[in-house]
Amino acid sequence: MLRLMPPPPTAPPMVALADDDRLRRLSQRIRMVGLSLGTILGTTWFFTLGVVPGVLAAMVAKHILVAILTMGLGVDKDSRG
């Protein structure tokens, strides 16, 4: 019975190994970290101007950070692909 079985298929050739989107995802993550850091640093700078500008900046920063989070989670991507 084993003599009648064909040999296992050969592995596909290893071509274009870096063709996936790892570099794009890394770039997006670095951009998100930079935007988050800039938002946090900007908010702390507004706190040096006083309590009222700091609180207003914190309220705006909350929305910016949530937008960065949803961008990273891929909420805006199409579900088909």
Query: What is the reported pLDDT for 79?
Result: 65
So what's the pLDDT on residue 21? 78
Please report, for residues 9, 29, 45, 51, the alpha-carbon distance to residue 66 in angstroms, rounded to integers and kept in the order given.
48, 15, 20, 23
For residue 41, give both structure tokens: 């640093």
Q: Is the pLDDT of residue 70 over 60?
A: yes
Position 77 scores a pLDDT of: 75
Q: What single-letter DSSP state applies at residue 50?
A: -
* The pLDDT value given to residue 50: 96
pTM of the predicted model as reported, rounded to 2 decimal places? 0.69
pLDDT at 17: 64
* Nearest partner of 24 among 67, 69, 74, judged by Cα: 74
Mean pLDDT of the chain: 87
Q: Output 2 or 20, whichever has higher pLDDT.
A: 20
Q: Are 32 and 71 in contact (CB under 8 A)?
A: yes
Question: Distance (Å, rounded) from C-alpha 77 to C-alpha 70?
Answer: 10
Domain map of the chain by residue range? 22-73
